[in-house]
């Protein structure tokens, strides 16, 4: 009897999948990972006389608009970068609708200007 109880206890403890991610958590993780990739690409960009700085909105707030603006230059693979941002924004918009996500309706503003400081693009937000 002790053997059966021990086996059942083992199965309950080690076969419990409550530690696994739910579908919603998995979808959020994909969005978060994509956001990390996009920010890393932007951070890797440089500016100079040859490379120009830009800003782009990323994320999709439930009320509309972007969560934030990031600064980058055309020293990186722009097509891949902008494609990732488009995917990120679409995925987050669909996620927000699917799970009825809510947030504040504060609108993130783009930088008022962008400067090249020591080879890095820097946004001026006012």
Higher pLDDT, 57 or 125: 57
How confident is the model over 19-77, as pLDDT tens digits? Answer: 678 999 999 999 999 999 999 999 999 999 999 999 999 999 999 999 999 999 999 99
Quote the tokens at residue 102: 């809510």
pTM comes to 0.81
Q: How many CA atoms lie within 13 A of 90 on its CB side?
A: 6
Indicate the pLDDT class of residue 92, thresholds 50, 70 and 90: very high
Residue 126's pLDDT is 84
Average pLDDT of the chain? 89
């Amino acid at each position: 009897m002790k053997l059966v109880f021990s086996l059942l206890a083992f199965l309950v403890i080690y076969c419990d999948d409550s530690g696994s991610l739910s579908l919603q958590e998995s979808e959020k993780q994909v969005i978060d990972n994509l956001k990390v990739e996009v920010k890393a690409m932007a951070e890797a960009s440089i500016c100079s006389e040859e490379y120009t700085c830009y800003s782009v909105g990323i994320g999709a707030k439930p009320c509309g608009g972007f969560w934030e603006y990031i600064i980058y230059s055309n020293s990186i693979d722009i097509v891949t970068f902008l494609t990732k941002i488009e995917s990120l924004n679409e995925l987050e918009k669909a996620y927000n609708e699917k799970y009825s996500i809510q947030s504040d309706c504060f609108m993130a503003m783009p930088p008022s200007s962008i400067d090249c400081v020591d080879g890095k693009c820097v946004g001026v937000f006012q």
